[in-house]
Homo-oligomer: A and B are copies of this chain.
Amino acid sequence: MKGQGVQTIEPEMEPARRCVRTGDLVLLVGSDRKTAIVRMQPARQYQTHHGVLNHDAVIGIPWGSSVDTHLGYSYMVLPPSLDQLIRDVQRATQIIYPKEIGYMLMKMNIGPGSTVLEAGTGSGALTLALARMVQPDGHVFSYEVRADMKALAEKNLARVGLDRFVTFRLRDIDEGFDEEGLDAAFLDVREPWLYLSQVHQALRGGGFLGSLLPTVNQVGVLLRNLAMHPFGFTEVEELLLRPYKAVAERLRPVDRMVAHTGYMIFSRALLGEPLLEPE
């Protein structure tokens, strides 16, 4: 089972991974398409409108099968996707959605081993995605000025077992960040332009800055301020996601869609001027 001449590291396929284990996060889907994400723990119960589901009845069964409540109502048992985990975050604020998160990870080169700054933490939806992606060797440093939000995000991350990849800090980021030499920084605050010096200080040379802003006015102010700091290669983009009705005989987009979440801005921390000729 080796590639021809390529030295590859193939993982052992654990048979155990085929079945739900204690501590696993499980996506339960009822036949009414209602979903819940629950961490399986021995002797616990999950209460539904359709009866009680014992965690012990779920632990040990194969992923992709179904299980019944005491009233005989069936739930499909699936591993949740990162998309679903993000949507399931208990939120007190507007969260950043998967369509932007996935693209930003690519543009900001965030993956296993990355060290990432986030400000502010908010409900922790983006924090969760970042923690999932930088593990096991990377780390997320997440700053938040509101203690209640920080507590909520910590709870949300602990719930999915990703809190150990995150350092939460309660801080007015105007005072700056504790880290230096980070790979990437995401500013999820209303006025990111106020913190460009601090962020530059925290990033390594060539590090990635990202932000998501709802209004064109904010984009304009951020662009003007980026031009006054040693950042360069700035890009502004937006993503439109159009879902379809997945019916072969009547295939068509759904009637309504999200028209806007925000404008994505990407930039790179430089050690000098960008040295670019005008376009």
Contacts and interface: CB of A to CB of B under 8 A. Distances in A.
Contacts of A235: 243, 246
B223 A246 contact: yes
Interface centre among A78, A105, A269 (most CB of B within 10 A): A105
A122 to B, nearest CB: 16
Contacts of A15: 181
A132 interface: yes
A107 B103 CA distance: 12
Given A251-B216, A275-B76, A18 B205 contact: yes
Interface centre among A64, A77, A80, A137 (most CB of B within 10 A): A64
Interface in A239-279: 239-260, 263, 265, 268-272, 274-277, 279
A176 interface: no
**Size category, A interface:** 35 or more
Interface centre among A109, A135, A154, A251 (most CB of B within 10 A): A251
Contact of A83 (B106, B219, B260): B106
Q: Which 10 A-B pairs have the closest CB atoms?
A: A64-B205, A102-B102, A257-B259, A253-B260, A223-B248, A63-B206, A236-B244, A63-B205, A216-B216, A64-B206
17 contacts: A9-B165, A15-B181, A17-B204, A18-B205, A32-B277, A33-B276, A62-B271, A64-B269, A79-B109, A81-B108, A102-B104, A111-B132, A113-B136, A219-B248, A227-B248, A239-B241, A254-B259
